[in-house]
Amino acid sequence: MDFTTNAKDFIARAEASFNQHDVERVIAGYAPSALLEFYNEGIHDTFRGIDAIRRAWTFVFVNFPRFQLTKQLVSADPSGAIVNEWNGSFDGERASYGLDLWWLDESGAVTHHKVLGFGHVVAYSSWHAKVRWMAIHPRLSLRTAQNRRRLLS
């Protein structure tokens, strides 16, 4: 079996265990000293070691009990790097999007996992997007709006 097939199986197992909110199945593939990083809405959090990773996934499932997603393989490198994108919803109503970056050792255990998430994806033209952009980048928001009208309309 080639690495791409193995990577697709890996992603399918990750999706199934996540959607079941089964912390023990989620963490079963991590190496004991693995690193898990979350980048969500510009906020970064790091968890090192299986106990910290268990607490992190428990926190996610307790706080987002309706969180379901689908994963699709984007890229798999035989050196052990896998990228998948995911689509889902934190609350069962609003769209979420993200990427998982995985690094596996020779045995197939996850040594590093970055979760890049966008918890509430909205169209650029929506007022939610404009308010969010203004809150995060107040100085750039006016210039961006002017240039968007000038260059993209």
144 and 106 fall within a common domain = no
> Residue 80 and residue 10: Cα distance in Å, rounded?
12
130 and 111 fall within a common domain = no
73 and 116 fall within a common domain = yes
CATH no. for residue 47? 3.10.450.50
Q: What is the mean pLDDT of the chain?
A: 90
115 and 56 fall within a common domain = yes
pTM summary value: 0.84
For the segment 5-18, what is each residue's pLDDT rounded down to a tens digit?
Answer: 899 999 999 999 99
For the segment 67-82, what is each residue's pLDDT rounded down to a tens digit?
Answer: 999 999 999 998 999 9
Do 130 and 52 contact (CB within 8 A), yes or no? no
42 and 107 fall within a common domain = yes
For the segment 32-81, what is each residue's pLDDT rounded down to a tens digit?
Answer: 999 999 999 878 999 999 999 999 999 999 999 999 999 999 999 989 99
Q: What are phi and psi of 2, to 5 degrees?
A: -80, 170
70: its two tokens: 């689908």
Task: For residue 16, give its domain range.
Answer: 3-121
> Residue 67 and residue 91: Cα distance in Å, rounded?
6
Q: In what order do the strands lie in the sheet with 81-89?
A: 43-48, 30-40, 110-118, 96-104, 81-89, 68-77
Q: Among 111, 89, 91, which Cα is nearest to 102's?
A: 111
